[in-house]
Amino acid sequence: MTITSPHLGSSAGWTDARLLYALEEVVEKELDRHLKVAKDWMPHEYVPWSDARNFPGFFEDGEAWDKEQSKVTEIGRIALVVNLLTEDNLPSYHHEIASLFGRDGAWGTWVHRWTAEEGRHGIVMRDYLLASRAVDPDKLEQFRMAHMSEGFESDNSHSMLHSVAYVSFQELATRISHRNTGHQSGDPVCDRMLARIATDENLHMIFYRNLLKAAFEIAPDLTMQA
């Protein structure tokens, strides 16, 4: 499909800056819609604090972790760690999208709101894992340090529309991953927590999906390529 009008889809003249400006109104509209449907929730309400007890270290009565203490299945434990490590790289993700979308106007408001919502996910998942003794806390921290030390950085060869397309699929994939992990975890408390996280991821997917739809209307060729 090729539309020759410079205002509707011709690739000529469409820079990332122009596209960001052209989509600003859509971002503002989608942000308003998102804030109306998104529900604030408290991470601490999803953590089984009564199951928690001290680990060795500062506390003399600390009890070493043992695999048998976990209520989570083996596959659930692996998936939880992978999902948490992904959430841990939030600072790198924020830097990437803030650099791409900007920190001003509706784009900037969305970037910060998205980051704040995503931050809950890492908080509640780590608290759950430690309180329920689902994983070895020492190895978990070692994994976190190694993973975050690598960070995340794109190769900067992709367009803004490519990034929008990518996160549209990525948010959906993350939603599915969290829901499947919850189902396979063997712990109803874990399943409930991950269902809450998945709800956020679905709303993020809808935001980017609608933005991608608007991009098709103004630059269909470039959006299809992305």
Please give the Cα distance from 212 to 226 (Å, whole number).
Answer: 10
Bridge partners (DSSP) of residue 96 are none
Are 128 and 185 contacting, i.e. CB atoms less than 8 angstroms apart? no
Q: What pLDDT, on the 0 to 100 scale, is given for residue 59?
A: 78
Q: What pLDDT, on the 0 to 100 scale, is given for residue 5?
A: 38
Of the candidates 141, 157, 152, 126, the one whose C-alpha atom is nearest the C-alpha of residue 52 is: 126
Note the pTM of the prediction, 2 decimals.
Answer: 0.87
CATH class entry, domain 16-225: mainly alpha
Q: What pLDDT, on the 0 to 100 scale, is given for residue 220?
A: 92
Q: What pLDDT, on the 0 to 100 scale, is given for residue 7?
A: 46
Q: What pLDDT, on the 0 to 100 scale, is given for residue 1?
A: 35
Summarised one tens digit per residue, pLDDT across range 96-135 is 888 888 888 999 999 999 999 999 999 999 999 999 999 9
Q: What pLDDT, on the 0 to 100 scale, is given for residue 85?
A: 92
Q: What pLDDT, on the 0 to 100 scale, is given for residue 2?
A: 36
Are 106 and 204 contacting, i.e. CB atoms less than 8 angstroms apart? no
Low-confidence ranges of the chain (pLDDT < 50): 1-9
Name the residue ranges covered by the structural domains of the chain. Answer: 16-225
Of the candidates 45, 35, 220, the one whose C-alpha atom is nearest the C-alpha of residue 114 is: 35
- The crossing angle, in degrees rounded to 10, of helices 90-101 and 105-131 is 170
Q: What angle do CA 62, 127, 187 make, to 5 degrees?
A: 100
